[in-house]
Amino acid sequence: MSFSDAVMAGLARDGGLFLPQRIPDVRDRLADWAKLPYAELAVAVMQPFVDLAPEVLRDLVQRSYKTFAHPEITPVVKVNDVHIVELFHGPTLAFKDVALQFLGNLFAHFLQQNGGELNLVGATSGDTGSAAIHGVRGRERIRIFVMHPRGRVSRSQELQMTSVLDANVHNLAIDGTFDDCQGILKELFNDLAWRDRQRLGSVNSINWARVLAQVVYFFYAGLKVMRETGAKGVRFAVPTGNFGDIFAGWIAQRMGLPIRKLVLATNENDILARFFESGEYRKGTVQATISPSMDIQVASNFERYLYYRVGEDAARLRGMMGDFARSGALKVAPGLDGAIDPLFAAGRGNTAATQATIREFYREANYLLDPHTAVGVHVGRQHLEKDEPMVCLATAHPAKFGDAIREAVGVDVAHHPSLDALAGAKTRVTALPADAAAVRAYVERHTGGAS
Ligand SMILES: *Cc1c(COP(=O)(O)O)cnc(C)c1O
C-alpha cells in the first residue's frame, strides 16, 4: 500500500494499523541534520517514508508550519534540571497541531490530485479535536465530525472546537467517556461497506501520517540538546495517553537517534506505566484528572509498538489484540525479548505531584508547565542520568488548562490572547448519546450518504 493510500484510509481494512515496511537507518545523516531548521529537517526525516516528490513535500511542510507563532516551530528551553521542547506554538496551543496542520494539507493535496471527497470522523479527549478542526476548517471536499466526551474536556478546549462555525465542521458532544467515543469510532470504521460509502477518513493518531510528523521534533530537540551540551545521547520524558507521541519517539530511536531512555509518564490512568513495569497490559476504569488529554485506558497506538515486541508477527499480534478485546488484558511473555523493554522507564504523576511540580517550576524558575507537561517533568526527573540530558515534551500551553494552573499556584497567571478572545464566542455543537447508531445517523444526514 502506498503512503497516500494509508493516509487516506487511516485504519486498515482488517481493523489493524498501518506501519512502514521498513524503518530507515539514518545514523550517517545525523551530523548534517543537526544543522537544519525545523521545516528542512521535517522534509529530510519524512522523505524516506512518503511517495511525494521532494518539492511537493517541502511545499506542504512549509505551509503547515507557517501557522506557528514561533520561528523555531518547536523551541527548546533549559529550565531547572531539564530541557523543555515547547510543542505548543501552533494554532490550538497543543502538540497535536504539529501533526494535524500537516495532515490537513496532506488530505487537501491528495484530494486535489485524485478528486473525490473525504469525511473525517474523530474522537477527542480535548486537544486532537480542536487541532484537527483547525487543520481542515473551511477546506473544500472535506467535512469533519468530532466526538468529545460531554463535560469532560476543559472549557478552553471545548470553545476551541465549538466556536469554529465553518459549515464543514461538526462538533458532537457524546454522553460518555473518551473511551466510549473511541469505541464508537472503531465501530464505525469496522463497518467496511458503510465506511466506503461515507468515504470516511481518520484524524486520530491511528493515522500513520500523524505519528510520522511527530518523529521530526524528537530529532529536532534531541540533536539540538546534544549539540548544546556535547552529550552523546539523550533521554525523553513523554506525557502519554494514546501512546502516539512516545511511539514517534520510539521510531526516531529505531532510525538511529541516540535516545538512551524513553520515560513514559501517565497520570492516575496508568495502564501503560503498569505495562512497562510488569509486562501486563490490563484495562482499568477511567478516572477524571487535571490532565484530561491523558485520561485514557485503551491506548490506540500501543498495538503498533506491540507488533515490534512480538517480532513483527502480525498473526500473533492479532491473536493478542483479540484476547485483549475479550478479556481486557494481555501479557507479553517473558522470553519474548524479555517482558520488560529496557529502553523504557515508566512512572506516574498523581494530582498532588502534578500540582507540586507546577508550583515548583513557577516559583523557582518563573516557568509555567501545563498539567500534562508537569506529569512528564515529574516522572522525567526521577530518571535523570549524568551525561544524558533529559528532554521533556511540553505538550500544551499552560493557558489551555488555566483552572488547573490557578489551583496549583494560587493565582490566575496562565493566559493566552487567542484563548481569552474565545470568552463569549458564538458556538455550535450537537449533543448525542454514547451510541454508534446515533452518530452514524448524524453523519449520514450531513454527508447526504444515507442508504
Ligand atoms: C494528546 C495529549 C497527550 C497524550 O498524547 P498521546 O500521543 O495520546 O500519548 C498529552 N498531552 C496533551 C496536552 C495532549 O493533548
Does the residue 450 lie in any domain? no
395 CB less than 6 Å from ligand 1? Answer: yes
The domain spanning residue 169 has which CATH number?
3.40.50.1100
The Cα 293–Cα 184 span in angstroms is 18
* Residues 6+ positions from 392 with CB-CB distance below 8 Å: 82, 83, 84, 85, 236, 237, 373, 376, 377, 380
Whether 293 and 164 map to the same domain: the answer is: no
Whether 65 and 81 map to the same domain: the answer is: no
Q: How many domains, in total, are found in the chain?
A: 2
Closest residue (by CA) to atom 2 of ligand 1? 293
Residue bearing cell 475479550: 326
Q: Which atom of ligand 1 is nearest to the CA of 395?
A: 13
Q: Which domain holds residue 311?
A: 76-93+214-416
pLDDT averaged over consecutive 10-residue blocks of the chain (451 residues)? 92 89 97 97 98 97 97 98 98 97 96 93 89 95 96 89 97 93 90 93 87 98 98 98 96 98 97 93 91 87 94 93 93 72 96 98 98 98 98 97 95 94 95 98 85 44
Does the residue 59 lie in any domain? yes
* Best of 245, 247, 348, 354 for a ligand 1 pocket test (most atoms within 8 Å of beta carbon): 245
* Best of 218, 293, 358, 392 for a ligand 1 pocket test (most atoms within 8 Å of beta carbon): 293
Whether 172 and 86 map to the same domain: the answer is: no
* Best of 156, 295, 395 for a ligand 1 pocket test (most atoms within 8 Å of beta carbon): 395
Whether 359 and 378 map to the same domain: the answer is: yes
Q: What is the reported pLDDT for 451?
A: 44
Whether 282 and 364 map to the same domain: the answer is: yes
| Cα 55 to chain centroid, rounded | 27
Backbone angles phi, psi at 173, to 5 degrees: -90, 110
Whether 196 and 119 map to the same domain: the answer is: yes
Q: Which helix (H) or strand (E) holds 172?
A: strand 169-175
245 CB less than 6 Å from ligand 1? Answer: yes
Whether 366 and 435 map to the same domain: the answer is: no
- Cell numbers that stand for 131 in this block: 487541532
* Residues 6+ positions from 451 with CB-CB distance below 8 Å: 197, 444
Alpha helices in 259-387 (DSSP H): 271-278, 302-309, 314-327, 351-365, 371-380
Whether 262 and 410 map to the same domain: the answer is: yes
* Residues 6+ positions from 310 with CB-CB distance below 8 Å: 316, 317, 320, 332, 336
Does the residue 109 lie in any domain? yes
Whether 200 and 250 map to the same domain: the answer is: no
Q: Which helix (H) or strand (E) holds 58?
A: helix 54-65
**DSSP bridge partners of 142:** 118
Residue 410 per-residue DSSP state = S
436-447 vs 178-190: helix crossing angle, rounded to 10: 60
Half-sphere exposure in the Cβ direction for 153 (13 Å, CA): 30
Catalytic residues: 96
3-class secondary-structure state, position 1? coil
Residue 399 per-residue DSSP state = G
HEC letters along 242-265: CCHHHHHHHHHHHHCCCEEEEEEE
Does the residue 282 lie in any domain? yes
Does the residue 204 lie in any domain? yes
Q: What is the reported pLDDT for 335?
A: 62
Closest residue (by CA) to atom 14 of ligand 1? 293
156 CB less than 6 Å from ligand 1? Answer: no
The Cα 291–Cα 153 span in angstroms is 10
Whether 352 and 248 map to the same domain: the answer is: yes
pTM confidence score: 0.95
Q: Which atom of ligand 1 is nearest to the CA of 88?
A: 13
- Cell numbers that stand for 386 in this block: 549524568
The Cα 161–Cα 205 span in angstroms is 18
Whether 156 and 295 map to the same domain: the answer is: no
Residue type, 339: A
Q: What is the reported pLDDT for 10?
A: 87
Does the residue 275 lie in any domain? yes
State in Å: Cα 241 to ligand 1 middle: 6
Whether 149 and 51 map to the same domain: the answer is: yes
State in Å: Cα 197 to ligand 1 middle: 31
Residue type, 20: P
Strand pairing of 118-123 and 200-201?
parallel
Does the residue 289 lie in any domain? yes
Inter-residue contact 239 to 263 (CB < 8 Å): no
Residue bearing cell 481486557: 328
State in Å: Cα 191 to ligand 1 middle: 28
Rg of the chain, C-alpha, whole Å: 21
- Count the Cβ atoms, other than its own, within 10 Å of residue 200: 25
